[in-house]
Amino acid sequence: MKVLLTLSIVATIFAAAFARDLPSFLHVCKRNDPNLSNCIKKSVENFKPYLINGLPEYNIPTLEPLLLDELEAEPGNTIKLRLKNVHVYGASNFTVSRLKANTDTLRFVVELNFSSLSIESDYDIDGKVILLRIKGSGPMTGNFTNCKGLVKLQAHVVKRDDGANYVEIVNFITKISVGKGHLLLKNLFGGDPLLGEAINVAINSNFDDFIKELQPSLESAISSTFLKIANSILGQFTYEMLFPLS
Ligand SMILES: *[C@@H]1O[C@H](CO)[C@@H](O)[C@H](O)[C@H]1NC(C)=O
Ligand SMILES: *[C@@H]1O[C@H](CO)[C@@H](O)[C@H](O)[C@H]1NC(C)=O
Ligand SMILES: *[C@@H]1O[C@H](CO)[C@@H](O)[C@H](O)[C@H]1NC(C)=O
Ligand SMILES: *[C@@H]1O[C@H](CO)[C@@H](O)[C@H](O)[C@H]1NC(C)=O
C-alpha cells in the first residue's frame, strides 16, 4: 500500500515536470515546411472544434462562452461604464483570414474573422452628458457582426529544469474591430422606460464611437486572457515536439 502510494506520487510529480505526449488533435508543422504559414493556418482551423467544449485535461478552456472579467470605459471623461461577468458567444466560430509565421524569430501574426458575436454582461454606468445625469446598473446584451481580430505574438524558447526547451509567449497584442452591432442596457435610471429607451437609442446611433471607447479595455482583456491560455497549453509540450525539424 505504501509502495503504491509512493509510486503514484512519484508518477504524478514526473507527469507534472516533464512534457507529455502530443495529442492527435494537435497537428504540428515542421520547422522547415516551405509553406509553414499555411500549415499552421490549417492546424488552427483543425483545432477549432476543440474550443467549443474545451479539453480540461490539456488546459484548454471552452470558448463558448468566452469569459472576460471586467471592461471599463470613460467616454469623454464624463461617464464611467463598467462591464462585469462578460460572456462572449461565437468566439469559437472564426475563420483564419491571414497567418504569418516565422519559426526562426518565433513571431506570429494571425487575422481572424468572426461573422457573428454576441455578449451578455452586467453593466454599471454613472456620469453626465451635457446636463443629463445617466445612471443605472443591470444586464447588458449585444450582438455584433463582421468582427475582426488581429493578433501579433512573440514567443521565446526557454529551457526548463527538466533540461528540455519550451515555447513561451512573451508578448501578445490584440487589435479588435467591430463591424455593425446593437447594444441593450436594461434597467437604466432604475428601469424608467422612457429615459432608458432614449439612452439606448443614443448609444446605438453612436455605436462606433461607443465601441471605440471600450476597445482598449477589451483588447487588453482579450490579450491577457489568451496569453495565459496559450502559455498553459504550450507549456505541456517541448519546442521540438511542437516544431519538429523534419
Ligand atoms: C502556400 O499555400 C497556399 C494555399 O495552398 C498557397 O495559396 C500559397 O501560394 C502557398 N505559398 C507558398 C510560398 O508556397
Ligand atoms: C459560424 O460562422 C459561419 C460563417 O463564418 C456562419 O455561416 C455560421 O452560421 C456560424 N455558426 C454558428 C453556430 O454561429
Ligand atoms: C474576412 O472579412 C473580410 C472583410 O470583412 C473579407 O474581405 C474576407 O474575405 C474575410 N475572410 C475570410 C477568410 O472569411
Ligand atoms: C440579439 O439577437 C437576438 C437573436 O436575434 C435577439 O433576440 C436580441 O434581442 C438581440 N439583442 C440585441 C441587443 O440586439
**Which ligand has the shortest distance to the CA of 120?**
4
CA 43 – ligand 1 centroid, Å? 15
Q: Which residues contact 82 (CB under 8 A, 6 or more apart)?
A: 70, 71, 72, 123, 124, 125
How far, CA to CA in Å, does 192 sit from each of 21, 58, 93, 137, 141?
Answer: 58, 48, 37, 12, 18
Q: Given this model, what pLDDT does residue 8 score? A: 52
Q: Determine the topology of domain 4-242 in CATH.
A: Bactericidal permeability-increasing protein; domain 1 (3.15.10)
User: What 8-state DSSP symbol labels residue 245?
Assistant: -
pTM of the full structure: 0.86
User: For the chain, what is the largest distance between any 2 Cα atoms, rounded to a whole number of angstroms?
Assistant: 76
> Which atom of ligand 2 is nearest the CA belonging to 95?
5
Q: Given this model, what pLDDT does residue 76 score? A: 76
Q: What does the pLDDT look like over 167-200, one tens digit per residue?
A: 999 999 999 999 999 999 999 999 999 999 999 9
Say whether pLDDT at 246 is over 90: no
From 38, 39, 100, mutation site for ligand 1 pocket: most ligand atoms within 8 A of C-beta: 38
Q: Which residues line ligand 2 (CB under 6 A)?
A: 90, 93, 95, 115-116
Mean pLDDT score of the chain? 90
- Domain residue limits, the chain: 4-242
From 97, 110, 144, mutation site for ligand 3 pocket: most ligand atoms within 8 A of C-beta: 97
Long-range contacts of 203-207 (CB under 8 A, 24+ apart): 207/180, 207/181, 207/182, 207/183
Q: Given this model, what pLDDT does residue 168 score? A: 96
Say whether pLDDT at 120 is over 80: yes
